[in-house]
Amino acid sequence: MSKIRLDKDPFNIIISGVGGQGNIMASRVIAGMLALQGYNITIGETFGSSQRGGSVMSHIRVSSGSVWSPQIPKCSADFIISIEPTEAIRMLTDYGNRHTAVVSNERPVHSMAVISGAMNYPPKEDIENFLYRYSARSCLVNATEEAIKLGNPILGNIIIIGAAVGMNLLPIGREDFRAIVSRQLKPHLVDINVTAFDIGFAKTAAIN
């Protein structure tokens, strides 16, 4: 069954971002990899009107045993994977605790308040400081920037998935990713996605 034992059962993952960023795709890929390992997975998602520029999140419960609530109780997320950095902070304060690990894309998506000038988007060092102060481990990844180099910014999600796996908290690896994308994508897209995964993986695996 599992290659690495989970630190905690259920192990609680939150995947967050802004509507339209591909949050649901990311959660299904990660959950799919874990399900292939034989874990009992429960995912709770928000979609619908909350897609329209609002905060979105998926709750993933990973257990070697039973079914858990599709909503993670407050203060009990173990790992936050975010496609947008301020959403990582929002999720950490809502669902995290001092032991939570965070990996996030560093690319901001500006909200209406920022675009209109009513509020400022925090500088990267403030975000880093916050995550350093309030999480057990954190890593910001320039995923969108790397994805643009690969030819499409949407691959930033895959880079983040690679970075999440590189944090070495999940009992999954590169081959599990290849297995999942081979099932879900057209053959000519598999390699570019695995390349994106590897870029993300290298960024966090080097640190951890």
Torsion angle defined by CA atoms of residues 57, 62, 65 and 71, in that order, rounded to the nearest 10 degrees: -20
**Which CB sits closer to other proteins, 96 or 166?**
96
Task: Specify whether the CB–CB gap between 132 and 194 falls below 8 A.
Answer: no
The CB-of-200 to other proteins minimum distance in angstroms stands at 12
Spatial distance between the Cα atoms of 120 and 151, rounded to a whole number of angstroms: 30
The answer to whether 196 contacts other proteins (rule: CB under 8 A) is yes
Spatial distance between the Cα atoms of 69 and 40, rounded to a whole number of angstroms: 12
Spatial distance between the Cα atoms of 150 and 108, rounded to a whole number of angstroms: 19
**Which CB sits closer to other proteins, 169 or 197?**
197
Cβ-in-10-Å burial (0-12, 13-18, 19+) of 29 comes to buried
The CB-of-156 to other proteins minimum distance in angstroms stands at 8
The residue range among 1-9, 96-104, 164-172, 200-208 that interacts with other proteins, by the rule CB under 8 A, is 96-104
The residue range among 1-9, 70-78, 170-178, 200-208 that interacts with other proteins, by the rule CB under 8 A, is 70-78
The residue range among 1-9, 64-72, 169-177, 199-207 that interacts with other proteins, by the rule CB under 8 A, is 64-72
The answer to whether 154 contacts other proteins (rule: CB under 8 A) is yes
Contact letters for other proteins, residues 128-147 (x by CB under 8 A): --x--xx---------x---
Identify the residue among 2, 4, 7, 70 touching other proteins (CB under 8 A).
70
- The DSSP H or E segment spanning 157 is helix 156-166
